[in-house]
Amino acid sequence: MAQDKSARRPRAETPKGFRDYFGAEVAERKTMLDRVAEVYQRYGFDPLETSAVETVEALGKFLPDVDRPNEGVFAWQDEDQDWLALRYDLTAPLARVAAQFRNDLPNPYRRYAMGPVWRNEKPGPGRFRQFYQCDADTVGAPSVAADAEICAMLSDALEAVGIPRGDYVVKVNSRKVLNGVMEVAGVLDPANPERFHAERGIVLRAIDKIDRLGEAGVRALLGEGRRDESGDFTRGAGLSAEQAEVVMGFTSARRDSGAGTIARLRELVGASVIGAEGVAELQTMAELLDRQGYGADRLILDPGVVRGLGYYTGPVFEAELTFEILDEKGRKRQFGSVAGGGRYDDLVKRFTGQAVPATGVSIGVDRLLAALRAKGRVGAEMPGPVVVTVMDRDRMGDYLAMAGELRAAGVRAEVYLGNPKNFGNQLKYADKRASPLAVIQGGDEAARGTVILKDLILGARIAESATLEEWKDRPAQVEVPRGDLVAAVRRMLAR
């Protein structure tokens, strides 16, 4: 019977692939996103918060992993048997909003959005089913000036959160140029755009994986296909060696200067109209950015960047962090991509039938946070509170008053509210709270009209290794008049 009873207790667990964020984790992310939002707002972008739930039909099938178009979302049927789902990104809801409110929104519409998205995918280490995205998009602006603006803003945002110039680069490329190259390679027929659609998708995803697969891996995927270490075979695009050569030439088209890369791309796209258009757009973007001071130290043209999503139609961009970290095996490697985006001119058309130009960027919030941690740029967001200990539970009012005075002076402070019997537990609690300072007033101190302030940070250091000089210089414990409580705490916190 007893067993039956305990078997009926619910398990205290998050569902598989979900997690909770505590204290500093929440504060760090908030600080970072607040800084990004400040930059976005200064650029004239307005916040938008769409509902987490959308109709499945509005969301569409734009998940990056095209092999499983129908999966990937958490979905259920409502009372009318319509399918609803949690949003899997912030772009699909924007397209829905741009269509739904097209008569009310300013045109062009600049908006930013920050919030969780959900993916019904296999969870893994560091791979969760709910995670944050932080997007900025401009809908209704056909000019590449809009793309250039997004790139400049991304650069500003990275610096605003604490990535110094020189530690990142925004790489810019163009899907039109890639299409021009594909035309030259014979896998794009301007007279019949749908032809070779599947092949181009394979080429796109192959190039996107060049960092991981290397040149040989990409070549295999451009050709017959590739067998990975596990023995799984991925079908290739079926290009001939000559065709593959043209495409590979594109991925390595980057030259030392932007002008050099432009010239090389112009050679590669040859007579392709779409290709020439793409090259001209890249040139314009580079000029506009250069004119504003965003030079090669921040923004470069890199034909190696294609982005995995199928819906991009023009410029694409990616922010890479160039400083090195140690990977899980202790090897040095560049931190890599933290944000990416591009122009997508057909998402709103799904709803309205009319093409609406749009461009935008998405920051991988957890990736960027990890980068800031690696650079030691986070952690000061939330100091531990001063803990007022309870020596005499009948004088709880006195202790609460002390904490109240400290808070009124702007000091984070709390009274220990557990069982006060064991004083050691109170100090252990203060330690767990990362408290810098404990306030102590027993009967003797109360009678004398004093309080004791115990420096817990120094206390911990002394317990480890502090020298006698340090101890003398900064006594870990002082007794001060009750009336000096606030001033004395402030002095100790400031030193």
Whole-angstrom distance, CA of residue 450 vs CA of residue 468: 26
Quick count: other Cβ atoms within 10 Å of Cβ 120?
Answer: 17
* 122: CB partners within 8 A, 6+ apart: 17
> What does the block give as tokens for 245?
């050569």
**Per-residue CA distances from 423 to 135, 199, 392, 418, 430 (Å):** 49, 71, 11, 11, 11
Task: Reduce the secondary structure of 367-424 to three states and give it as a string.
Answer: HHHHHHHHCCCCCCCCCCCEEECCCCHHHHHHHHHHHHHHHHCCCCEEECCCCCCCHH
Instruction: Name the minimum Å distance from CB 84 to a second copy.
Output: 5
User: Which residue, 340 or 385, has its beta carbon nearer to a second copy?
Assistant: 385
* 254: nearest Cα among 185, 323, 305: 305
* 54: nearest Cα among 114, 103, 105, 96: 96
User: Which residue, 380 or 417, has its beta carbon nearer to a second copy?
Assistant: 417
The H or E element spanning position 456 is helix 456-464
Instruction: Name the minimum Å distance from CB 90 to a second copy.
Output: 12
Whole-angstrom distance, CA of residue 134 vs CA of residue 138: 14
8 A C-beta contact, residue 432 and residue 385: no
Instruction: Name the minimum Å distance from CB 370 to a second copy.
Output: 17
User: Which residue, 66 or 382, has its beta carbon nearer to a second copy?
Assistant: 382
Instruction: Name the minimum Å distance from CB 174 to a second copy.
Output: 18
Instruction: Name the minimum Å distance from CB 36 to a second copy.
Output: 13
Instruction: Name the minimum Å distance from CB 286 to a second copy.
Output: 11
> What does the block give as tokens for 79?
């009372």
Whole-angstrom distance, CA of residue 439 vs CA of residue 451: 7
User: Which residue, 221 or 288, has its beta carbon nearer to a second copy?
Assistant: 288
Instruction: Name the minimum Å distance from CB 273 to a second copy.
Output: 22
User: Which residue, 172 or 239, has its beta carbon nearer to a second copy?
Assistant: 172
Instruction: Name the minimum Å distance from CB 478 to a second copy.
Output: 22
- Sign of the CA dihedral running 147, 152, 157, 158: positive
Q: Token pair 């019977």 is at which residue?
A: 1
Residue type, 145: A
Instruction: Name the minimum Å distance from CB 432 to a second copy.
Output: 4
* 92: nearest Cα among 428, 344, 410, 324: 344
User: Which residue, 291 or 472, has its beta carbon nearer to a second copy?
Assistant: 291
Instruction: Name the minimum Å distance from CB 324 to a second copy.
Output: 31
Whole-angstrom distance, CA of residue 400 vs CA of residue 255: 67
User: Which residue, 22 or 212, has its beta carbon nearer to a second copy?
Assistant: 22
User: Which residue, 27 or 263, has its beta carbon nearer to a second copy?
Assistant: 27
**Per-residue CA distances from 384 to 100, 223, 412, 435, 488 (Å):** 46, 59, 7, 4, 17
Whole-angstrom distance, CA of residue 367 vs CA of residue 318: 13
Instruction: Name the minimum Å distance from CB 153 to a second copy.
Output: 9
3-state secondary structure of 340: strand
User: Which residue, 146 or 458, has its beta carbon nearer to a second copy?
Assistant: 146
**Per-residue CA distances from 391 to 99, 100, 163, 426 (Å):** 64, 62, 47, 10
Instruction: Name the minimum Å distance from CB 295 to a second copy.
Output: 13
What pairs with residue 306 in β-bridges?
Answer: none
User: Which residue, 110 or 171, has its beta carbon nearer to a second copy?
Assistant: 110
* 459: CB partners within 8 A, 6+ apart: 476, 477
User: Which residue, 272 or 435, has its beta carbon nearer to a second copy?
Assistant: 435
User: Which residue, 397 or 424, has its beta carbon nearer to a second copy?
Assistant: 397
User: Which residue, 82 or 324, has its beta carbon nearer to a second copy?
Assistant: 82
Instruction: Name the minimum Å distance from CB 5 to a second copy.
Output: 8
